Structure 1
Amino acid sequence: MGARIENPIIVIGGGIGGLATALGVAETKQKVKVLEQAPEFGEVGAGIQLAANATNVLHRLGVMDKINEIAVFPKRLVLMDAFSGEEISALDLGDVYKERYGAPYIVLHRSDLHHVLLEACEENPYIELVTNQMIEKTVQDEDSITVTAANGDRHIGKAVIGADGIWSNTRKLFVEDEAICSQYVAYRGAIPIEDITTHGNLDDVYMWIGPNLHLVQYPVRRGELYNQVVVFKSTQYRKEIEYTDEWGTPEEMDQVFAGTCDPVQKAITFIQRQRRWPMYDRNPISNWTKGRVTLTGDAAHPMLQYLAQGACQALEDASYLTDMIHQHGDNLEQAFLKYQEERIPRTAYVQKSARTWGEIIHSTNPEGILLRDIIMKNRTDQDFQFVDQFHGYNNTVKNVVKA
């Protein structure tokens, strides 16, 4: 997959963040080799939401035209009460949003986004893509870095960027920490759009919330499919069964969602039940650079999904890291240090904020629920104060080359 290149910057991980990082580095005319552990490049999961802080980066990377062909541009982000069926609040995602942040809010299938990024990498002469690379060892010396895979393959380059996700091996070069189980699980799936006829505007993003639960719904793939994500906190969770499927079961999902309103009940019947996703994050760390090795995306700052900012932050990383390589050229050690100087405080804030918003939307406290709902109902749909600090981040577009 691509011509073999010498002395590259090695990106470990070929997910959305890894491929975006490769495209960014290639923009600086540095050679990149992407190592993916799977037999082929691909993406699991269903839908993904990308706010303007992410779509600004996708524009920079030159892939927005292709994404526009497959994405959906929702009109509103709507917060609903999962039990009463009442609308609590909404955010206008139309022209006012685009004017404010310089880019649209989009929703699409994760595999569609990944495919567009992969195609761009395949067409880029600076990028080489290699599969079946489960990386076991990274050794840095004065002049080079050697990365060794489980199958014995060795890759020598001038720097390494770990983009290998929440279960990152590269992260272990910096810290021996454990992923933190939130005790929540998610069930995901996309169904034909014609199967959903029970509520509202199908162009909108709906988030139905209740104590210890929520449901997210929105269209993907040009509006042909309807993505649904059911999330709930398990009362069956215990540390000793954490890595089993004995908690957060489909039967428990039915129990937790009992009593919710008809549209939510109907959505539950469509959810695929054969696979569940336990939800994890990690605590922020104070350093993710050592010499010519650094981290990006979930390897650096895995977060809970409640702000829909995981992929957005990985794309911000890719863009800011690109800026620093532009600025510092072959001094990659300095580029990496300047990159993390900006990104560590930013991503730590988003990680912590995701936890806080999870507590707010899942509140079980009657007074807390009442206060939340009063505040949310009294705002207008063009009040952006709760999202400005996330969607309005503009350090990603300092050196934008317009496509």
Structure 2
Amino acid sequence: MKKQVLIAGGGIAGLAAGIGAARAGWEVRLFERAAVFSEVGAGVQLGPNVVRRLQSWGLQGALQAVAAFPPRLVVRCALSGAQLGTLALGATAVQRYGAAYASIHRADLHGLLLQALQQQPDVHLNLEQTIEGYSASDEAVTVRTHCKKVIEGDALLGADGVRSRVRAQLLGDGPPRVTGHLAYRVVVPQAALPQALRTSEVTTWLGPRLHVVQYPVRRGELQNLVVIIEGPAPDDLDTWDHSANAADLESALAGTCTALQDVVRGVPAAGGGWRLWPLADRPPLRAPAQMAQGLVALCGDAAHPMRPYLAQGAGMAIEDAAELESALSMHDLEVPLRLRRYALNRWQRAARVQARSLRNGRIFHATGMMRWGRDLSMRLLGERLLDQPWLYR
């Protein structure tokens, strides 16, 4: 008889975890609080380390159909517009790491994973069902939903995001920390932009206490723009109005170069509306017990929420799922040992990515002499600084 895994959360982490568990031969019961499966947000970058996992699940064709594959990364100074460094992607990434570097709309990635999960046997997707809590014994875990349903399974995976209820009960470590960084995001049709503002590359603009990233998604038909600035956020993030004011953003970018300001000012004319998110994270993982205890494990942002300065948030969730597939396939081990194996094999890498993301944020937003040294190093070393063999391999 198949073992049954219960999954809290129907976002990218939950769907990926479901694919991993189903491929390991488990029955999957996934619980999503929304009335429909959908994904808000904007673009996602997928390094070769992530694309390889999708390829191993037979999703290369599906990815190829919806993603863009930028030929290079360009880093520019947000104040002067000068080019600081470049990194070849495209065929170079395939040659170095055995897989491409992709950029994809978050909704397209979500849809790709949802379709792949639905094609697996013994998968039950439950909408408008929020897992509010659980109880666990040595043999089984029982969850309670907001509508008073009680479901028993052999394991529980918390993939319910940065404010995970599963994590809150498992670890009791309080809410995530407010970073003081705000992300303005928008996606616009490239055809609606002047030719000079369209792009097939990933461009990162680095400025004092801010940076901007732009890249193509959806086969290059859309352009994703993210502006991250340092600024105060309200105390109650859950009730904050996320509609962003374009005038506030233009004010925050005063002093940056004309080329960058043209990019931002081109958004309203192209029919785009900025959305604003305050960023939250947690410190890097300190032990495997922060990812799995007994019959309960965490994955994605529920386990290791991170700042977006290494573009690996979604990627780490997909890596988690691949490791879950391997661990849950160890049918000669008891379930707690399988989940502990998963955590032992994941926590240090995830912690390293969290820590490097923090470090990158300080470098991206540097001021004074640190900014001067960053720019000089980038000009001298360029690709050696931008490439990430430890990550992409």
TM-score (norm 2): 0.92
Deviates more, 1:162-171 or 1:197-206: 197-206
Equivalent position to 1:315, from 306, 310, 318: 318
Distance 1:42 1:308 in 2: 21
Equivalent position to 1:339, from 332, 342, 354: 342
Per-residue deviation, 1:328: 4.5
Other structure's SS at 2:275 match: coil
Per-residue deviation, 1:356: 0.7
Alignment of 1:264 with 2:260, yes or no, is: yes
Equivalences for residues 210-289 of structure 1 within 5 A: 210-234=207-231, 236-237=232-233, 244=240, 250-269=246-265, 270=267, 272-273=272-273, 275-285=275-285, 286=287, 287=289, 288-289=291-292
Other structure's SS at 1:333 match: helix
Equivalences for residues 140-159 of structure 1 within 5 A: 140-159=136-155
Q: Deviations over 1:88-110 (max 9, x none)?
A: 11111022221221111000111
Per-residue deviation, 1:6: 7.7
Distance 1:198 1:261 in 2: 19
Equivalent position to 1:37, from 15, 30, 33: 33
Equivalences for residues 321-400 of structure 1 within 5 A: 321-329=324-332, 331-364=334-367, 366-381=368-383, 383=384, 386-392=387-393
Q: Deviations over 1:195-223 (max 9, x none)?
A: 33464872110111100111111111111
Distance 1:250 1:200 in 2: 18
Q: Deviations over 1:103-146 (max 9, x none)?
A: 11000111011101111111211321111111111111232211
Distance 2:278 2:145 in 1: 28
Change (3 A) 1:367 1:385: same
Deviates more, 1:92-101 or 1:203-212: 92-101
C-alpha contact 2:33 2:129 (8 A) present in aligned 1: yes
Change (3 A) 1:380 1:186: closer
C-alpha contact 1:237 1:248 (8 A) present in aligned 2: no
Per-residue deviation, 1:380: 4.6
Other structure's SS at 1:222 match: helix
Distance 1:354 1:284 in 2: 10
Equivalent position to 1:51, from 47, 51, 71: 47
Distance 1:110 1:98 in 2: 22
Per-residue deviation, 1:245: 5.5
Per-residue deviation, 1:175: 2.9
Change (3 A) 1:238 1:25: closer
Distance 1:48 1:247 in 2: 20
Per-residue deviation, 1:284: 2.9
Q: Which runs of 5+ in 2 are unaligned?
A: none
The one-letter amino acid paired with 2:389 is D
Q: Deviations over 1:282-305 (max 9, x none)?
A: 123422212111101100000000
The one-letter amino acid paired with 1:232 is I
What is residue 294 of structure 1 aligned with on the other side?
A: 297
C-alpha contact 2:242 2:276 (8 A) present in aligned 1: no
The one-letter amino acid paired with 1:181 is V
Distance 1:10 1:241 in 2: 28
Equivalent position to 1:196, from 188, 193, 196: 193
Deviates more, 1:169-178 or 1:100-109: 169-178
What is residue 303 of structure 1 aligned with on the other side?
A: 306
Per-residue deviation, 1:349: 1.2
Change (3 A) 1:174 1:361: same
Change (3 A) 1:242 1:47: closer
Distance 2:357 2:141 in 1: 35
C-alpha contact 1:233 1:248 (8 A) present in aligned 2: no
Change (3 A) 1:240 1:12: closer
C-alpha contact 1:217 1:228 (8 A) present in aligned 2: yes
The one-letter amino acid paired with 2:358 is R
Q: Which is helix-richer, 1 or 2?
A: 2
The one-letter amino acid paired with 1:279 is L
Equivalences for residues 8-87 of structure 1 within 5 A: 8-87=4-83
Per-residue deviation, 1:345: 1.2
Would you say how many aligned residue pairs link Structure 1 and Structure 2? 385
Per-residue deviation, 1:388: 1.5
C-alpha contact 1:10 1:157 (8 A) present in aligned 2: yes
C-alpha contact 1:232 1:253 (8 A) present in aligned 2: no
Other structure's SS at 1:306 match: coil
TM-score (norm 1): 0.89
Other structure's SS at 1:155 match: strand
Alignment of 1:161 with 2:162, yes or no, is: no
Distance 2:259 2:145 in 1: 48
Q: Deviations over 1:148-171 (max 9, x none)?
A: 111112221110011111010010
Other structure's SS at 1:160 match: strand
